[in-house]
Structure 1
Amino acid sequence: MPTVHTRELSATPNLTMLFGKAVLTGFTRHGSSLPSTVYSRDLVVDPGHLAAYNKVCGFRLTDELPVTYPHILGFPLQVKLMTDGDFPFPLVGSVHLANRITQHRPVRAEEALSLKVHVDNLRDHAKGKQFDMVTEVTVDGEVVWDSVSTYLRRGGGTGGSSEKEIVVRQPRAVWRVPEDIGRRYAEVSGDRNPIHTHALTAKLFGFPRAIAHGMWTKARCMAAFEGRLPDAYTVDVRFKLPVLLPAKVGFVATQQHGWQFELFDARRGKPHLSGVIS
């Protein structure tokens, strides 16, 4: 079993520098194992930043963190781990397949948080390799929030069906997603991947237009549940076809032993996201 190396950071990593490093080193990465590094960081939430995030994602202003907010606190630690020299896959081109968040109790905005991030569970996928970025938030030693983000690195997969399910749905709500939502979410999340910010740069990576961040679509869906969820729950989503900006999307949710919800193209029914709250 590999030795775990915990590295405590005194400041949030500079994402601009890390993304630059990712571009420069992406073509030199190779390997067959994940690093054992754990990055940790202590912090207190900036109220102004929290308010900006809430506005972009559709949450109300309260004294509690939205369930998706700690993800962006841990995101710089994830990027640092994925741009370290011993990480086997390039950051650019990695696909966010899924995200599972468990809120063990509400987290208040004024609490002192301790974050830890590590990578785990390298395994085969029909289109390549997948792995999990694990983030944990504690307060005074108590785990209050954790998440698992599953990423795919394409290439050398086992093959399999790539068919996309298209179902005619009746939305409970229709949302217009503006063309600039990628840039606005990039400002609050730090995720300035060019596929999200401008149509011209998105075309360089094979997209006809800029696409919305997957974690923005999850956050926007969770904003629709405000006031209807218990203090502790798990929300698990699968990201499907990207949201091409601007867009008109349909949202539907059904309650049975928890909640099931979907986000889809309001005109064509193509699926963007499916989720379960339990």
Structure 2
Amino acid sequence: MAALTTARAALGLLPRRRPATLPAREPAVLAVTVDREHLARYDRVCGFRLADTLPATYPHVLAFPLALRLMSAPDFPFPVVGLVHVANRITVRRPIDAGAPLEISVRAADLRPHHRGRQFDIVTTAVVDGEEAWRGVSTYLRREGTAERREQGERPAGPAPSARWTVPARVGGDYAAASGDHNPIHTSRLGARLFGFPRPIAHGMWSKARCLAALEGRLPAAYTVDVAFKAPILLPATVAFAVMPDGEGRRFDLRSAGTDRIHLTGHLAGQPT
């Protein structure tokens, strides 16, 4: 998968005429059976307990090859390189047994303006026994023009953290190996510098998974969890996780320990939407 990712990303940098709209073809579909060893490796990297039920973020990893193929196709309006993952919503309609065959589908939707360019969604579904059991919506930003950056990483001091985590430098490579996403900004100091980062950064979906792992045992059977990725986690790092009641749900965030720089904000609602 590393070679595939690199090759597709490199091809996307070649100059060519691109369409102005998202591809309108039918969703790509993939039949998947979970590899228990791979699942266990993913669980360990993200902090989940080993279990027979899939973590909420795991279908996102299963769908990655389809999403990459879609976004690196000739009829996609943007190159994969340079896209910024800014938000992710996951709806768990019911727990998914790790032994259940899944039908994964991926499509692109809702190309729309953003103050820094344009953004769109990659919509993924996981069907079990003919019924949708899981849905994920990843929002990506294509930066364009010279719009002034709105700093969103600095916020007023938050609540006392529920936990502090040391995030070692190896997390970038370990998550890449478990997820199949080998973007060099996560695995290489040189690759990170080419995109303006002083050192590799953690995958956003690793940070979301780590937050959900901290909530294990307190999650309902069906829920929706939204996150916004605010600022990258430069590896290695120490981060502070805080969770707060919010009506019938919970709000949570992940900050740089000692600076209150927000990396991620999230909301979990007990009923799917």
Shorter-normalised TM range: over 0.9
SS of the residue 1:254 aligns to: strand
AA matched with 1:190: G
Q: Within 1, Cα distance between the matches of 2:2 and 2:193?
A: 23
AA matched with 1:19: T
For the Cα contact (< 8 Å) 1:15–1:76, is it kept in 2? Answer: no
Matched, 1:254 2:241: no
For the Cα contact (< 8 Å) 2:161–2:241, is it kept in 1? Answer: yes
Q: CA deviation at 1:19?
A: 3.0
Q: Within 2, Cα distance between the matches of 1:106 and 1:126?
A: 37
For the Cα contact (< 8 Å) 2:90–2:135, is it kept in 1? Answer: yes
Q: How does 1:98-117 map to 2 (within 5 A)?
A: 98-117=87-106
Q: Within 1, Cα distance between the matches of 2:13 and 2:142?
A: 12
AA matched with 1:59: F
SS of the residue 1:28 aligns to: coil
Q: How does 1:144-163 map to 2 (within 5 A)?
A: 144-156=133-145, 159=147, 162-163=150-151
Considering Cα pairs closer than 8 Å and 6+ residues apart, tell me whether 1 or 2 has the greater RCO.
2
Aligned to 1:130: 119
RMSD in angstroms over aligned alpha carbons? Answer: 1.3
Aligned to 1:179: 169
Name the TM-score, length of structure 1 as normaliser: 0.92
Question: Where does the alignment leave 5 or more consecutive residues of structure 1 unmatched?
Answer: 1-13
Aligned to 1:36: 24
Aligned to 1:7: none
Q: Within 1, Cα distance between the matches of 2:6 and 2:251?
A: 35
Q: Match for 1:94 among 74, 83, 89?
A: 83
For the Cα contact (< 8 Å) 1:119–1:133, is it kept in 2? Answer: yes
Q: CA deviation at 1:255?
A: 1.5
AA matched with 2:28: Y
Aligned to 2:192: 202
SS of the residue 2:190 aligns to: helix
Matched, 1:190 2:177: no
Aligned to 1:11: none
Q: CA deviation at 1:161?
A: 5.9
Q: Within 1, Cα distance between the matches of 2:74 and 2:215?
A: 41
Name the TM-score, length of structure 2 as normaliser: 0.93
Q: CA deviation at 1:15?
A: 5.4
SS of the residue 1:229 aligns to: coil
Question: Where does the alignment leave 5 or more consecutive residues of structure 2 unmatched?
Answer: none
Q: Within 2, Cα distance between the matches of 1:151 and 1:141?
A: 29
AA matched with 1:277: L
Matched, 1:22 2:12: no
Aligned to 2:262: 271
AA matched with 1:97: V
Q: Match for 2:46 among 44, 52, 57?
A: 57
Q: How many residues align?
A: 264
Aligned to 2:59: 70
For the Cα contact (< 8 Å) 2:48–2:55, is it kept in 1? Answer: yes
* CA deviation vs aligned residue, 1:43-68 (integer Å, no higher than 9, x gap): 11000000000000000011100000
AA matched with 1:251: F
